[in-house]
Amino acid sequence: MSPDGGIVRACAKVNLVLRVGAPRPDGYHELVTLIGRIDLADVLLVGPAARTHVDCPGLPGGDTLVTRALTGLCAAAGHAGGFHVHIDKRIPHGAGLGGGSADAAAALLAANALLPAPLPDAELARIGAGVGSDVPALLHDAATIARGRGDRVEVLGALPRAHLVLAHPGRPLATRDVYRRHVPDDRPLPAAIALPTTLDELVALLENDLQAPAEALAPACRALREGMMGAGALAAIVSGSGSAVFGVFATRQEAERAAGMLPDAAWTTTATLGAASGG
């Protein structure tokens, strides 16, 4: 990136595995999740400025996560200036695709590179964890396992390529509302999750403890999931706390055909897992 800044992509995520335990004393839930990045991305223009200002026309109410991330970065680095960020939103808000967290992570990485003395990765992860639970994992392009409340991150590597259909019912879900409806079961959280190396292994791995409460709050999510299965998906689940649903297809052609067969969706797109870059 030049000293004047540049354009970066903030790639969305899907939760391939999301296991959720009981509430912790701090109000968060203990969790274990396998996160993959996809090539659906917001686009950010990041540059130096006298003070931090974030412009995001596609987000009602304005951005907060990026502002908090960059404020934290400047404080930690002792940087007297700030950054200007313009965000072209392409990831739906409140969809469980990590759009806001991906923007914060991408802005942190880009702004840090513009500092006279960039901070180490561990410090960026600390700042990110204070902004949002998904931010530390989304500082990495590779598949990651996140534990705790999402702040303990293990980078695994590349996922097998898979073609996805993403669908949104038009109604965002608040993460806190979904977690409040979650009823933990007696299964222990997994100590490890193996990185899938084939499409079959990936499909067999998909699991989301928050799917049931998300579908209870937004029944359209279940209709979309069942619609994807009816359109030929190898598997389909809610991503994160919803309300987006994603289905896995064997080929791009099958995914593109299925995307046009979901009349209940307010928004659909196709994306590729295992091909994200940037962010």
Query: Catalytic amino acids?
Result: 13, 134
Residue 220, helix vs strand vs coil: helix
157 burial via Cβ count (<10 Å: 0-12, 13-18, 19+): exposed
Helix and strand numbers, DSSP H then E, in the chain: 8, 11
Question: What are the two backbone dihedrals, phi and then psi, of residue 185, each rounded to the nearest 5 degrees?
Answer: -100, -170
Nearest to 5, CA basis, from 38, 35, 48, 40: 48
Are residues 244 and 195 in contact, defined by beta-carbon separation less than 8 angstroms?
no
C-alpha angle 279/33/60, rounded to 5°? 50
Are residues 267 and 92 in contact, defined by beta-carbon separation less than 8 angstroms?
yes
